[in-house]
Amino acid sequence: MENTAHLWLLTQQALALPPAAFRKLIDCVEDPRQLLTLSAAECAALALSSQHRRALERALSRPNPEEAIAESLYKANANLLCWHDVAYPALLKEIYDAPPLLYYRGHGELLSQALFAVVGSRRPSRIGHGDAHAFAKALSNAGLTVVSGMALGVDGAAHLGALSGKSSTIAVLGTGVDRCYPRGNAALYERIADEGLLLSEFPLGSPPLRHQFPRRNRLISGMSLGVLVVEAAVRSGSLITAQQALEQNREVFAIPGSIHNPASRGCNRLIKQGAKLVEGLEDILEEYAGWLGQEQVPVVDGAMAQPNAPANSPVYQSLGFEPTAADTLAQHLGLATPELLSLLSELEVEGWVEQYQGGWQRCR
């Protein structure tokens, strides 16, 4: 069966126009073959030269010109979405450099849901990892589909948290939707393809090139109601996403952290610049109660509740949420370092403390 999106992909390949110019063509006609019927003056108004016209004639004049496109998509178990399709994400259409075509694998109906992005460090602390999972699960249970970039760390935790909730998740890739990157997320990639949605503006087979990931980030924020930054250094892709969200008139939220933790400085800076400080789910949902059709903001139902801390442990009580060197802690407690490390190991096994950035800190 003929698919107009497939013909538009052929047109894009033949003309090699910038996205804005290509979207102008899509807005002008429903079927790219109509471009061949335009007068010279009408073509000039659309920045189509005679060379463009000849290239387009060659691309579309073959019998069943979209057949090869359809076959490649079928082999990759992928689909193609065009700018004018009803299923194209409404919020994404608002950004100035929205991609004319999107590739996806999985449940395309998720693109019409209320979307919310969760991003952060590729090397989060255990606290950051846990927060990403817990907030994503709570957002999912509140009816939001969680969007992230399938990177290691916070992104992966957010996807898994969302999948464990009532809604689902969308992974926006910096590669083709038929390429899993990073390889360490292979199991997550397959699970999202089965239960959620993989999305990309890059053609099938596109490798993970560095310049593609900042472009990927603008889609994460552009299709979402808002962006939560869980943990981020001052120089990080997550802050690029947050900056793009602000430029796209999206709400930005950030979880604050210790002033001694470099991985929290990006979030703290965002808060100083006007991002909303987040301590619980209600800090996010109160901004979207109308959108979600709720008369009142739901209270977090234990998704982030934690058991009582080990009050009888001097070691735990001496630690904060920033790394402390073992030698410093041993001197403060009057313990030999081997004895202290044994106590820390017990607390680590129980999930109360962790080693982070050369020291020890509380996890919760």
* 186 shares a domain with 271: yes
pLDDT category at 311 given cuts 50, 70, 90 is: low
* 117 shares a domain with 50: no
Residue 175 has pLDDT above 60, yes or no: yes
- As a whole number, mean pLDDT of residues 111-139 equals 93
* 278 shares a domain with 144: yes
Pairing of strands 79-82, 101-106: antiparallel
What pLDDT, on the 0 to 100 scale, is given for residue 161? Answer: 96
Tokens of 148: 């992230």
- As a whole number, mean pLDDT of residues 164-180 equals 97
- As a whole number, mean pLDDT of residues 327-338 equals 87
85: in domain:
no
Rounded (5°) CA angle 196-200-201:
150
CATH number at residue 281: 3.40.50.450
- As a whole number, mean pLDDT of residues 249-264 equals 89
* 320 shares a domain with 268: no
* 151 shares a domain with 57: no
33: in domain:
yes
328: in domain:
yes
- As a whole number, mean pLDDT of residues 297-316 equals 60
User: In the chain, at which residue ranges do the beta strands (DSSP E only) sit?
Assistant: 79-82, 101-106, 115-119, 145-148, 169-172, 197-200, 226-229, 251-254, 276-277, 353-356, 359-362
Q: Are 162 and 145 in contact (CB under 8 A)?
A: yes
Which 8-state DSSP code applies to residue 324? Answer: B
* 324 shares a domain with 280: no
* Stronger pLDDT, 87 or 359, i.e. the higher one: 87
What pLDDT, on the 0 to 100 scale, is given for residue 220? Answer: 97
Tokens of 125: 């602390």
102: in domain:
no
Domain boundary among 236, 264, 285: 285
* 336 shares a domain with 240: no
Segment among 270-279, 304-313, 321-330 with least mean pLDDT: 304-313
* 173 shares a domain with 273: yes
82: in domain:
no
* 122 shares a domain with 185: yes
Angstrom distance (rounded) from CA 289 to CA 298: 9
By percentage, how much of the chain surpasses pLDDT 90? 54
* Stronger pLDDT, 218 or 300, i.e. the higher one: 218
What pLDDT, on the 0 to 100 scale, is given for residue 261? Answer: 78
* Stronger pLDDT, 148 or 323, i.e. the higher one: 148
* 267 shares a domain with 320: no
Single-letter residue type at 263: A
Segment among 102-116, 271-285, 339-353 with least mean pLDDT: 339-353
92: in domain:
no
* Nearest partner of 249 among 219, 225, 284, judged by Cα: 225
* 198 shares a domain with 347: no
Residue 325 has pLDDT above 90, yes or no: no
CATH number at residue 349: 1.10.10.10
294: in domain:
no
pLDDT tens per residue, range 5-19: 899 999 998 998 888
At 117, is the secondary structure helix, strand, or coil? Answer: strand
What pLDDT, on the 0 to 100 scale, is given for residue 295? Answer: 45
What pLDDT, on the 0 to 100 scale, is given for residue 360? Answer: 85
91: in domain:
no
- State how many domains the chain has: 3
What pLDDT, on the 0 to 100 scale, is given for residue 300? Answer: 46
What pLDDT, on the 0 to 100 scale, is given for residue 329? Answer: 87
- As a whole number, mean pLDDT of residues 317-334 equals 84
Segment among 100-114, 300-314, 321-335 with least mean pLDDT: 300-314
Full residue range of the structural domain in which residue 272 is found: 108-285
Angstrom distance (rounded) from CA 33 to CA 309: 68
Q: Are 172 and 200 in contact (CB under 8 A)?
A: yes
pLDDT category at 115 given cuts 50, 70, 90 is: very high
pLDDT tens per residue, range 207-256: 999 999 999 999 999 999 999 999 998 888 899 999 999 999 999 999 99
* 275 shares a domain with 128: yes
Average pLDDT in the chain: 88
- As a whole number, mean pLDDT of residues 257-279 equals 90
What pLDDT, on the 0 to 100 scale, is given for residue 298? Answer: 46
Alpha-carbon separation of residue 98 from 27, 217, 243, 247 (angstroms): 13, 12, 16, 13
pLDDT category at 356 given cuts 50, 70, 90 is: confident
What pLDDT, on the 0 to 100 scale, is given for residue 2? Answer: 53
